[in-house]
């Protein structure tokens, strides 16, 4: 039985790997001329091979670690010496420890970051009736005041979704607080309990240390995970068609593929869609129409409506006049800066520090979030130049720039808006009734790498089980 996988990001690569391991015949179509999607490597001007795309995966979830182990890749952990910061009123400060995605459990944990008036407001939590899937921003602002949202919750959420708290669903992005919304109970109490229970349940430690890492990566960067998957897939006989875009899927299945030689039709027994949600929506929509399956056509329309955020990462190699401290910073939307976040990659990752010359540093700066216009109005050169100037002014430094490069992540992060979970369960109930159609990616069960791996594995499992059933 042959499977066409459409899209070669982490989701499509994982799915192809799982299918090939089960002995299935697989062809992967990828519109770009490279595999990896958001996982992008670069030689950083010859200084070191590293990431210009996603640069870490969560450690707490097992999927990324398991896949690394399966592929024989050795995990790398962040430095425990450097901490993340937050820009408040033009000043960099430590991110308060006792919060859940910026939502505090106790007012004393955010004093100094939130103004005295803001602290007073959050002590007077206002219960506001039962709510069904509000936005995080609306819900927390009503309960604890808008300042907590603007200063803490919004930048931390943006550090995951490149989105705005006022457009992201509480159910999908902060499910631990959903009960407090539905049952109209205290958020402060809920956060306090969650954080207290976390302190007791200690997870696995980095070998030889007592700290539990937040992130995991690879020597050479997270892009190495995509490269290793690609190589293993090829060894297992998977065919890759790079630079070939699937524009339509018809019953049968017949795929309309456009590549350098023009348009042609290809056939497959199964189709697994692994593209960003809006593209998946077009493909499922056209298939639904062809099959006369109006529910599938409707699922396609729903997926086409998923909004995504564009952002760019500017990566710079600097010659440091003095020591750089910290692992990076996040910036609330109301701060008048050009960049929205920065990661001090060589401080965060000992493997990278060990590969660049003494006295240099690798720094990443993010530009653009949901609904922002900087990417459309600036060339790469302008993005790099303005970002570096802004970074120097925020940090008060004047390091010499040895190299910069810009990677644009167009439509990379889907926005889990209010109603998202409901939409996904509707789409899934339609797709999962078709035993030869799979749907994977970052729009369904989480945006991170572990969630993408998990979704890809479970969809492949369903397809294989349904064949033998």
* Binding footprint of ligand HT9 on the chain (CB under 6 A): 58, 84, 158-160, 162, 214, 311, 327-328, 330, 340-343, 348, 366, 369, 413, 446-451
Long-range contacts of 20-26 (CB under 8 A, 24+ apart): 20/233, 20/236, 20/237, 20/238, 21/236, 22/460, 22/464, 24/464, 25/1, 25/237, 26/2, 26/233, 26/237, 26/238, 26/239
* Euclidean distance between CA atoms 266 and 29, whole angstroms: 11
State the nearest-atom distance from the C-beta of 317 to ligand HT9, in Å. 17
* Euclidean distance between CA atoms 118 and 224, whole angstroms: 44
DSSP letter at 206 equals P
Nearer to ligand HT9, 333 or 418 (CB): 333
Q: For the chain, what's the residue count?
A: 469
Q: Are β-strands 308-319 and 360-367 bridged in parallel, bridged antiparallel, or unpaired?
A: antiparallel
Closest CA to 153 of 185, 123, 114: 114
Nearer to ligand HT9, 20 or 331 (CB): 331
Nearer to ligand HT9, 29 or 166 (CB): 166
State the nearest-atom distance from the C-beta of 217 to ligand HT9, in Å. 11
Element (H, E) at 189: helix 187-200
* Euclidean distance between CA atoms 430 and 420, whole angstroms: 16
State the nearest-atom distance from the C-beta of 156 to ligand HT9, in Å. 7
State the nearest-atom distance from the C-beta of 345 to ligand HT9, in Å. 8
Nearer to ligand HT9, 229 or 341 (CB): 341
* Euclidean distance between CA atoms 161 and 370, whole angstroms: 9
Nearer to ligand HT9, 19 or 88 (CB): 88
Nearer to ligand HT9, 254 or 353 (CB): 353
Nearer to ligand HT9, 332 or 450 (CB): 450
* Euclidean distance between CA atoms 356 and 300, whole angstroms: 47
State the nearest-atom distance from the C-beta of 342 to ligand HT9, in Å. 6
State the nearest-atom distance from the C-beta of 190 to ligand HT9, in Å. 17
Which residue has the CB atom at the shortest distance from ligand HT9?
448
Nearer to ligand HT9, 29 or 370 (CB): 370
Residue 87: what are its φ and ψ, rounded to 5°? Answer: -90, 120
State the nearest-atom distance from the C-beta of 182 to ligand HT9, in Å. 22
* Euclidean distance between CA atoms 122 and 326, whole angstroms: 29
State the nearest-atom distance from the C-beta of 310 to ligand HT9, in Å. 10
Query: For residues 131-155, b (16+ Cβ closer than 10 Å) or e, as one string?
Result: bebbbbbbbbbbbbbbbbbbbbbbb
Nearer to ligand HT9, 13 or 58 (CB): 58
HSE-CB at 140 with a 13 A cutoff on CA atoms is 34
State the nearest-atom distance from the C-beta of 357 to ligand HT9, in Å. 22
């Amino acid at each position: 039985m042959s499977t066409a996988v459409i899209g070669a990001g982490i989701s499509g690569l994982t799915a192809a790997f799982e299918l090939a391991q089960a002995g299935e015949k697989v062809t992967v179509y990828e519109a770009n001329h490279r595999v990896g999607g958001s996982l992008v490597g670069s030689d950083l001007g010859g200084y070191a091979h590293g990431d210009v795309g996603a640069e870490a995966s969560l450690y707490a979830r097992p999927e990324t670690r398991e896949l690394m182990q399966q592929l024989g890749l050795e995990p790398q952990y962040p430095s425990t010496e450097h901490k993340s910061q937050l820009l408040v009123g033009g000043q960099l400060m430590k991110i308060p420890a006792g919060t859940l995605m910026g939502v505090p459990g106790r007012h004393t944990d955010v004093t100094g970051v939130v103004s005295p008036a803001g602290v007073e407001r959050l002590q007077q939590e206002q219960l506001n009736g039962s709510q069904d899937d509000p936005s995080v921003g609306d819900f927390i602002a009503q309960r604890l005041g808008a300042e907590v949202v603007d200063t803490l919750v919004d930048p931390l959420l943006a550090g995951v979704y490149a989105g705005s708290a006022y457009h992201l669903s509480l159910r999908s992005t902060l499910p631990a607080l959903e009960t407090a919304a539905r049952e109209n109970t205290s958020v402060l109490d809920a956060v306090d309990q969650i954080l207290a229970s976390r302190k007791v349940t200690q997870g696995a430690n980095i070998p030889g240390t007592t700290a539990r890492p937040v992130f995991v990566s690879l020597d050479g960067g997270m892009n190495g995970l995509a490269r290793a998957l690609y190589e293993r897939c090829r060894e297992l006989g998977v065919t890759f068609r790079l630079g070939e875009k699937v524009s339509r899927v018809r019953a049968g299945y017949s795929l309309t593929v456009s590549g350098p030689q023009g348009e042609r039709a290809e056939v497959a027994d199964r189709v697994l869609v692994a593209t960003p949600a809006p593209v998946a929506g077009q493909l499922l929509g056209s298939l639904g129409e062809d099959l006369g399956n109006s529910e599938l056509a409707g699922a396609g329309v729903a997926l086409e409506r998923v909004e995504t955020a564009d952002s760019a990462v500017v990566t710079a190699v600097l010659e440091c006049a003095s020591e750089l401290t910290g692992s990076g910073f996040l910036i609330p939307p109301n701060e008048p800066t050009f960049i929205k976040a920065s990661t001090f990659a060589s401080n965060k990752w000992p493997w990278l520090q060990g590969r660049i010359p003494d006295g240099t540093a690798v720094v990443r700066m993010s530009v653009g979030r949901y609904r922002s216009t900087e990417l459309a109005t600036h060339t790469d050169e302008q993005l790099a130049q303005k970002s570096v100037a802004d970074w120097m002014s925020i940090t008060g430094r004047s390091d010499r720039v040895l190299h910069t490069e810009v990677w644009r992540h167009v439509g990379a992060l889907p926005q889990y808006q209010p109603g998202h979970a409901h939409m996904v369960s509707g789409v899934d109930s339609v797709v999962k009734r078709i035993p030869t159609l799979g749907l994977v990616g970052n729009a369904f069960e989480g945006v991170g790498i572990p969630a993408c791996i998990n979704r890809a594995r479970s969809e492949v499992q369903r397809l294989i089980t349904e064949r033998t059933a």
